[in-house]
Structure 1
């Protein structure tokens, strides 16, 4: 489905799209940008820098912290932000609303502690600590401060956000089960809980690992040009969240990238289900209705605005509108931008916490249980933890 426009403010659509300020001209009464510092120089850290570069009216990077000088100089050249060798120097130069930590797992807890001690809000990349003992130790040190969010963008990605919105609106009745075959461990658990409205609490995980041949055409490094199937591992798990809510987890090695293992996401409710882009529900006691979530985009055929998502539509009704239209972001970037916006509002006391540390820890604990259960071949109980009451 395409979305075609006519003229905007006396200019043709093509001239608007080719203007450097096209994104900004589509917004009225834009609030002050949320300001954040980024610690790290890996591919995920670069995503936060790129969003501020593309959406300067919404996001401002106060500084980028890189351990080595060379990547710092590269960041300065590519994104026009100041780089620092230490967090202390970055904070002294310009205090942000919050700090994004995109560093190796073992380093995240150390920096989180240091920032919380200084009263600085944190957005920590997942997971917040590598293992259960690390999470318990981190929670004991910083949990009470309520200064830490975890960077979980999956429920905010356009298609997921549309599906979850339909479920919350009651379109399929009371949700009872969620099936995720898309991303791994804590990300998948976060999606399940969002779909089911499942709070933090004890769960039972029963997982098994299986192997089968599978081609692996592309990895983060690029196309492999290898058509020979290799032995790949798939983990299947059931998760009992209690109160008649369950999850089914299905993940295969490198599924994020492998085009022959596409995403699947299903939420089943008491009066219907959402399965990928298909929505089935009862219009009345004898009338099941099937609809499809359609993607409205620009840049198709004779539309010259450039490739971009406009909205997701169900039965002619927009169920998601792209708030960053004009920046030409992919779905993951839209979700990450939404997370940054929500974190900025939270840090300034203007909005709720998007994904608090307690939830990140719980979902990571369940993710660890999935691997534990698959390794042992027996069910694993996840009990109450110190963060369970937050």
Structure 2
């Protein structure tokens, strides 16, 4: 396979994911250039990560990229997207694509105006465990999905999973919820484990989304969950013939209607005496619900998911096969804004059909 050659705009914490992926999978990806406008900062970045850093989009384009990743603060994403659309360069945009409903509308109009090529790296559907859950649903194991209780992802990230699970991508809903504050001892951060025993207050949103087709999502999230050893992530999905409850799937067999309970099992190389150190897949009983698309990737689950989005860009550019279209990203971000509004105002909010779904 010909290498996927990409450039990038951005130098934040999220941008580093794309650099690690390119270095971990050099036979698949080639990062040709990173754009950082500040020359001094760019020189330091180039030295730290051993990559080519330039100051303009035109310089990135000259490296003959298949697409450009935008990984910058959402307040300035629009400016870069508008320029890339005009230049006709395919884009993989880090989420979210805008910071207000007005900008979401403007972005959709720009997309249509330039017939732009863009997909969004809202990657959670491609994380191994989420992908396994979605495959179980796709296979009809638990029947028609009725509701989801998710406590693992915030705002538009959580909405993206809710939408896929319930099949309610563009169905209007009524959102009600409230924000609470609870104390918890901090145990982990982006720099590693924390042992000082400091107790902090963290917000927790409890939200219900009632869709017009009768399906319901119970959304429960506290920011501390992303980095904590004492606050778990939880997911429960109920269908007419079973349920997914974290690592347990309960279902009724198609032949004989026999109730069965099975556990999901991760297959990871590198534990004990195995030397490869990589995630391989997730099994339920004797079959795989998920296999990593990469051979022995030394990547964590989130990096595998982002790499999957990058890998799918090739088929999107060449064949038009979308994996996370702009309209889906706009809708999920819009619902995320409405969740914030319902929580802040502590009253029910009804969503309406937006221009990208008319």
Shorter-chain TM-score: which interval? Answer: over 0.9
Shift of 1:170: 0.2
User: Any idea what SS the aligned residue of 2:243 has?
Assistant: strand
Are 2:216 and 1:242 aligned? no
Aligned to 1:354, which of 297, 317, 323?
323
Q: Which runs of 4+ in 1 moved over 4 A?
A: none
Alignment of 1:237-316 (within 5 A): 237-283=207-253, 287-303=258-274, 305-316=275-286
Alignment of 1:192-203 (within 5 A): 192-203=162-173
2:81 counterpart residue number: 112
Shift of 1:223: 3.7
Contact 1:273 1:281 in 2 (8 A): yes
Shift of 1:74: 4.1
1:134 counterpart residue number: 103
Structure 2 CA distance for aligned equivalents of residues 71 and 54 of structure 1: 24
User: Any idea what SS the aligned residue of 2:224 has?
Assistant: coil
User: Any idea what SS the aligned residue of 1:327 has?
Assistant: coil
Shift of 1:79: 4.6
Structure 1 gaps of 5+ residues are 1-30
Structure 1 CA distance for aligned equivalents of residues 280 and 196 of structure 2: 36
Shift of 1:319: 1.2
Task: Give CA deviations for 1:86-129 in whole Å, capped at 9, x if unaligned.
Answer: 112211x2231111000111110010011001111111111100
Aligned to 1:48, which of 13, 18, 30?
18
User: Any idea what SS the aligned residue of 2:259 has?
Assistant: strand
User: Any idea what SS the aligned residue of 1:172 has?
Assistant: coil
Structure 2 CA distance for aligned equivalents of residues 110 and 250 of structure 1: 33
Contact 1:264 1:276 in 2 (8 A): yes
Task: Give CA deviations for 1:14-35 in whole Å, capped at 9, x if unaligned.
Answer: xxxxxxxxxxxxxxxxx21222
- Which piece of structure 1 moves more, 233-242 or 75-84? 75-84
Structure-1-length-normalised TM-score: 0.87
Would you say how many aligned residue pairs link Structure 1 and Structure 2? 356
- Which piece of structure 1 moves more, 74-83 or 288-297? 74-83
Shift of 1:45: 0.9
User: Any idea what SS the aligned residue of 1:41 has?
Assistant: coil
2:94 counterpart residue number: 125
Structure 2 gaps of 5+ residues are none
Structure 1 CA distance for aligned equivalents of residues 65 and 257 of structure 2: 56
Alignment of 1:132-171 (within 5 A): 132-144=101-113, 145-171=115-141
Structure 2 CA distance for aligned equivalents of residues 343 and 204 of structure 1: 34
Structure-2-length-normalised TM-score: 0.94
Shift of 1:78: 4.8
1:35 counterpart residue number: 5
